Each structure stands twice: as structure tokens, then as C-alpha cells.
Amino acid sequence: MGKLAKWLRMMGYDSLFFDGEDDSQMVRQALAEGRMILTRDAGIMKRRVVNNGQLKALLIESEKPERQMQQLMATLELNKNLRPFTLCLECNHPLVERSREEVKDRVPPYVYKTQTQYMECPACRRIYWRGTHWEAMKRKLEKLAKTNDG
Ligand SMILES: [Zn+2]
């Protein structure tokens, strides 16, 4: 599910990742912030707040991130509201635009030479650019979306 959270962030969907222990805290926060819960835990689906529609939740069927993304794309129509390159993949914080000069000393020289668009996470200070990693993820998502249609 951690990988799924990263993919959702890459698509521009504000996503928090909880790894297990405290379901009640997760449910409270989802209610407070109007979030939907994506879970592999069937127990969550039986909760009263889910049954009465107060809290939206979706049971994720597969353990495989690819299959999980396909399920999400099919049920939530994720392709319709894509805002790629807007959230930090690591901490979910909104990214801010940076000029090439601003990041000059913080990215590898070959990146500086070849990339013109940069974003920075104000929380963890990571710099993002539309490099190979981002392109690879984007291609993967496009492939998943296609598989889904057929
Ligand atoms: Zn960050």
C-alpha cells in the first residue's frame, strides 16, 4: 500500500499512508479531513461509519501494486482529475515551483543541463524534475490505464 500511496501522489492525489496498528486513528483522521480509506483490511469495511455512508472506504483486492492501481482506476475514475507533479511522493506535501537557477547547486550537473522545470517540497526539501524516474512512472500508469480499458 505504500507504493500505491506514492503512485496516487504522483497523479496529484493527496494520500496518507498508515501502516497498520491504529485503525481508530486512521478512521478518525479520514472523517475529520474528508478522506476516503483504501484498505486491505475487511474489518474496516464492517465499521458502522462505513456502513452508514459517513466514511467512504474501498477494499483493495490485490497485494500487487499494479493490480491495486488497476482496481482504483476502474472504480474511482482516477484518470479524470490528474494533477501530476504537484505533490511530494515522500511526504504528500504540495510542491512549489523553482527556477533552474534556484536549484542549480542542488541537482546533478547533467540534470541541470537537460531539465528546465523543477519543483521543490518545502517540507523535506526534495527537488523534483521531469526526469527518467518520473517518465517511467508516468508510462507505467498509462499502461495500467490501457490494460484497464481492454
Ligand atoms: Zn517532501
- Residue 66 alpha carbon to ligand 1 centre in Å: 24
Evaluate whether 129 touches 107 at the Cβ level (below 8 Å).
yes
CA of 2 to the centre of ligand 1 (A): 15
The total of other beta-carbon atoms located within 10 Å of residue 119's CB is 19
Q: Determine contact, residues 20/33, Cβ cutoff 8 Å.
A: no
* 97 Cα–ligand 1 center, Å: 13
Interatomic CA distance for residues 97 and 127, integer angstroms: 10
- Would you tell me how many other CB atoms lie within 10 Å of the CB of residue 112? 17
Query: What's the pTM value of the predicted model, to 2 decimals?
Result: 0.82
Ligand 1 centroid from CA 49, angstroms: 31
The segments of the chain whose pLDDT lies below 70 read 147-150
